[in-house]
Amino acid sequence: MKGVSPGSADKLRKMLAFLDDMEEAEELHLLPAWRAHMLSGNRKGTWSLTVTRNLRLTFRIDASEREVYDLDLQDYH
């Protein structure tokens, strides 16, 4: 968690644990504070979760394998 504030690091741990435990993508909508949504355009198929005002956790989901992959922490500003 080098370079990430302690508050963001804690939230990221919770997000990663949730992603690891979830059964299907629709469960992401159970936590509205994370503002889960699918990206569009050339990022179609990629999910985004809000970590902080500027940081987003983006990832893809392989539903058939029940696997989250291509995780990235992005600064949107």
Residue 40 is predicted with a pLDDT of 95
pLDDT of residue 76: 81
Q: How big is the CA angle at 33 (ends 30 and 55), to the nearest 5 degrees?
A: 125
CATH (residue range 6-75): 3.30.2310.20
Residue type for position 42: N
The torsion angle over the Cα atoms of residues 35, 33, 29 and 4, rounded to 10 degrees, is 70
At 55 the pLDDT is 93
DSSP structure class, residue 46: E
Higher-pLDDT residue of 35 and 76 is 35
Query: What would the pLDDT profile of 51-73 be if each residue is shown by its tens digit?
Result: 998 999 999 999 888 899 999 99
Sequence-distant (≥ 6) Cβ neighbours of residue 11 within 8 angstroms: 51, 52
Please provide residue 5's backbone torsions phi and psi, each rounded to the nearest 5 degrees.
-60, 150
pTM, 2 dp: 0.88
- Render pLDDT for 14-41 as a digit per residue (tens, 0 to 9): 999 999 999 999 999 999 999 999 999 9
